[in-house]
Amino acid sequence: MIDRDELLHVARLARLALHEDELDATAGELSTILGHVAAIEELDLEGVEPTAHIGDVSDSLRADHVRPSLARDVALAPAPAIRDDGFLVPSPQGE
Amino acid sequence: MAGGDLEPVIGLEIHVQLRTATKMFCGCALGFGEPPNTRTCPVCLGLPGALPVANAEAIHYGLMIGMALDSELAPVSTFHRKNYFYPDLPKGYQISQFDLPLCSGGKLGEVNIHRVHLEEDAAKLNHAGASGRIEGADSSIVDFNRGGTPLAEIVTEPELRSAEQVGEWLRLLRTTLRTLGVSDVNMEEGSLRCDANISLRPVGTDQLGTKTELKNMNSFRFIERGIRAEVERQRAIIEAGETVTQETLHFDPKSESITSLRSKEEAHDYRYFPEPDLPPVVITEEMLARAAASLPELPAAREQRYIETLSLSPETARVFAWRAELADYFDAVCAADQSLDPHVAANWVTELQGRLGDEEAEDSKVTAAALAQLAAMVVSSQVNQGGAKQVLDQLVAAGGEPASIVADQGLEAVGGADELAPIVAAALEANPELTERLRSGDMKPIGVIVGEVMKQTRGRADGKEVTALVRKQLGLS
Ligand SMILES: [Zn+2]
């Protein structure tokens, strides 16, 4: 069972603003998910290869060939604010 | 743990930008100095739904680095997401490697390598000052051109013991990477960046003190000075009976001051998890064979060759081999005149480098062929050591050809007994008391006679030959 402090810590790391009235419900949902993982951990997986990827993986690398980049105005179109041909953002704290 | 001798324990994390044509996970061309935000696409902008695909050449370079560092290469390697929020990271995570890095272990010089993994570089943040658009707050401008550039992160074991050792080892690493051709390794341009983890412990113990991390130092000089300053800071804290705080630090080379970056502790809670968009990288026999075939002669091997094949002294072999440009120049001098004794060539290369300081020999006015010619003229007694050094001074200043400089300036050695014998005889005659002492076996005054002959020949005589003539004329040998 995930407790309130742990939930707030995880929420802060994920930049999620949880309201007071969401805490109990969210803690319950997260605990259910963790419980499910814990149940899987109970399985005897002796001799089973760890799964790093769910696809049927044959190697897929990309040759080092240049492809056209986006035009700058297209790249900047979704920016909330633009200055000097760049994305204008609040400065990170503590820098 | 106050009192007693303390020793530094230093580990390094080096980020190397790989010299591929395109970014780590998309086909955008790498760029340096291009107009901002002209090298982006949905993948490196982190737009929803865009899928990364790993660059085969970056993997190839990673394998070459692993082989050069004698690492164990993973048969299967995976990418993870390293989660943190920062404006230079559009996805909210950096694609890096976690439990299955491309290379594990290894060694370079005397320092053991912990691991080498691949990841993507962050974008560039430029400070914009207070902005009217974002009310009341300081703001930054993001340029995503650099975002997604392939990086190899090389992590050493915490085995380095001094700032000087760090500087020397980093030069070896840089030479190795440059020789491999996998990176420009230019610290000023940021293609080689170094963080240092530093702690102190009582000499002779295995215990690990609290370590601090000195971030992003961008020149060898700053790294050495930064580490020295941090070691002294920690020493003062410990000797005052207080404890070092674990934190991330910034060294300001101008003021020599160290400041805390005050990163919150949770910033290190990266919550790594497997990158679901990238399948594991399976290293095939073909990939290993290609990487092995791409390996040039590396500094360590070159050092061995200089010692074993050319029988240079270990010191000279290391000085040359650890500085690839100098070794290349030395090789060129030897190639220009294959009859030249490598020792002689090495001495003249050292003599030249001493005059050049930080400038590379290959960038100087002295061509390898000219230096080889000068060395050969000394060997064949066409010019003596002193004259040759004068010629070298002129080559450094203005370039040119040794033979014609010697001829123009009348620096030819006074060669052969025919020319020298009368001058020696005259010098002996002019100093009868000294001659008597020499004749009776007291060789101390011979310097005066040699000096006299040098004066008469304006320094063009060969000292050894003069000595031999004195002995001969006095019937001493
Ligand atoms: Zn891109």
CB B35 within 8 A of CB B144: no
B54 contacts chain A (CB < 8 A): yes
Kindly state the average pLDDT of the residues B377-383: 87
Average pLDDT across chain A, whole number: 88
pLDDT, tens digit, 9 for 90 and up, residues B291-305: 999 999 999 899 999
Cα B59 from Cα B75, distance rounded (Å): 12
Cα B121 from Cα B88, distance rounded (Å): 9
pLDDT, tens digit, 9 for 90 and up, residues B422-431: 888 888 888 8
| d(CA A86, ligand 1 centre) in Å | 16
Q: Categorize the per-residue pLDDT at B410 as very low, low, confident or very high, splitting at 50, 70 and 90.
A: confident
Nearest residue to B90 via CA among B120, B127, B134, B57? B120
Q: Categorize the per-residue pLDDT at B259 as very low, low, confident or very high, splitting at 50, 70 and 90.
A: confident
Find the CB nearest B141 among A12, A75, A83.
Answer: A83
CB B153 within 8 A of CB B116: yes
Q: Categorize the per-residue pLDDT at B2 as very low, low, confident or very high, splitting at 50, 70 and 90.
A: very low
Q: For residue B265, what pLDDT is reported?
A: 52
| β pairing state of B212-217 and B248-252 | parallel
Cβ contact, residue pair B139, A84, below 8 Å: no
Kindly state the average pLDDT of the residues A34-49: 91
Cβ contact, residue pair A75, B36, below 8 Å: no
Q: Categorize the per-residue pLDDT at B442 as very low, low, confident or very high, splitting at 50, 70 and 90.
A: confident
ipTM of the complex, rounded to two decimals: 0.89
> Between residues B207 and B477, which one has the greater pLDDT?
B207
Nearest residue to B142 via CA among A94, A12, A67, A75? A75
Is the pLDDT score of A45 beyond 70?
yes
Is the pLDDT score of A17 beyond 80?
yes
pLDDT, tens digit, 9 for 90 and up, residues B143-156: 999 999 999 999 99
Kindly state the average pLDDT of the residues A48-65: 79
Cβ atoms < 10 Å from Cβ of B3: 9
Q: Minimal Cα distance from B269: which residue of A?
A: A13
User: What tokens were used for B470?
Assistant: 């004195």
Average pLDDT across chain B, whole number: 90
Q: Minimal Cα distance from A79: which residue of B?
A: B142
Q: What count of CB pairs under 8 Å joins A to B?
A: 146
Cβ contact, residue pair A52, B100, below 8 Å: yes
- What is the side-by-side order of every strand in the sheet holding A86-90? A82-83, A86-90, B138-143, B124-130
Cβ contact, residue pair B138, A66, below 8 Å: no
Find the CB nearest B22 among A15, A65, A86.
Answer: A65
Q: For residue B94, what pLDDT is reported?
A: 97
Find tokens 């050695």 and name the residue: B413
Q: For residue B387, what pLDDT is reported?
A: 86
pLDDT, tens digit, 9 for 90 and up, residues B147-200: 999 999 999 999 999 999 999 999 999 999 999 999 999 888 889 999 999 999
Find the CB nearest A91 among B42, B137, B144.
Answer: B137
Cα B62 from Cα B103, distance rounded (Å): 8
Q: Categorize the per-residue pLDDT at B263 as very low, low, confident or very high, splitting at 50, 70 and 90.
A: low
pLDDT, tens digit, 9 for 90 and up, residues B96-150: 999 999 999 999 999 999 999 999 999 999 988 765 554 556 889 999 999 999 9
Q: For residue B416, what pLDDT is reported?
A: 65
A54 contacts chain B (CB < 8 A): yes
Find tokens 């000292």 and name the residue: B463
Cβ contact, residue pair B139, A88, below 8 Å: yes
Cβ contact, residue pair B274, A52, below 8 Å: yes
For residue B45, the distance in angstroms to the closest alpha carbon of chain A comes to 8
Is the pLDDT score of B8 beyond 50?
yes
Q: Which of A6, A13, A91, A93 to mutate against chain B (most B CBs within 10 Å)?
A: A91
For residue A22, the distance in angstroms to the closest alpha carbon of chain B comes to 23
Q: For residue B131, what pLDDT is reported?
A: 53
Lowest pLDDT segment from A15-24, B301-310, B407-416: B407-416
Kindly state the average pLDDT of the residues A60-82: 95
Find the CB nearest A13 among B21, B126, B269.
Answer: B269
pLDDT, tens digit, 9 for 90 and up, residues B328-347: 999 999 999 999 999 999 99
B35 contacts chain A (CB < 8 A): yes
Q: For residue B1, what pLDDT is reported?
A: 45
Find tokens 């930064």 and name the residue: B226
Is the pLDDT score of A28 beyond 70?
yes
Measure CA B2 to chain center: 37
